[in-house]
Amino acid sequence: MAGYSVGEVAAWGVGRLIDGFRTLDFVAARTKAMDAANQGDEGTLFVRGLDLAAIDSLCANREAAIAIVNPGDAYVLGGRRPALAGIAAEALRSGAARAVTIPVEVASHTSLMKDASTAFFARDGQCAP
């Protein structure tokens, strides 16, 4: 079984590495930790049509980072909303085929969630089964 992000926790449950109640407990703890770490001005942005170097350059020195890399020069960026708005505008000026916000209000998979990660892993001395 495999999963990504919260899907990884679901895969542990489906694969019977942990029981259903512990799976739900992990998901609830993860959500609580991410909500607590959220500063309230975070979001995500989808960008397609620029290469990795261009995306890295757009994120440099901004409160934003690549959260997910997909095939076909497609990226999900997470960060502070003002930074993401600037990146979207600059990406389109730089030739991106698309740059649109995604209705997700946490900067998952970025350093902005490091406090959530620390809290989640520390909750009972372990995370993975």
Residue 1 has pLDDT above 70, yes or no: no
Closest CA to 104 of 75, 72, 81: 81
Other residues' Cβ atoms within 10 Å of the Cβ of residue 118: 12
Report pLDDT for 124: 58
Which residues are paired to 5 by β-bridges? none
Give Dmax (Cα) for the chain.
49
Structure tokens at 18: 């942990």
Residue 101 has pLDDT above 90, yes or no: yes
What domains can you pick out in the chain, each with its CATH number? Answer: 6-38+112-122 (no CATH), 42-105 (3.30.70.250)
Average pLDDT of the segment spanning 91-117: 87
End-to-end Cα separation, the chain, in angstroms = 13
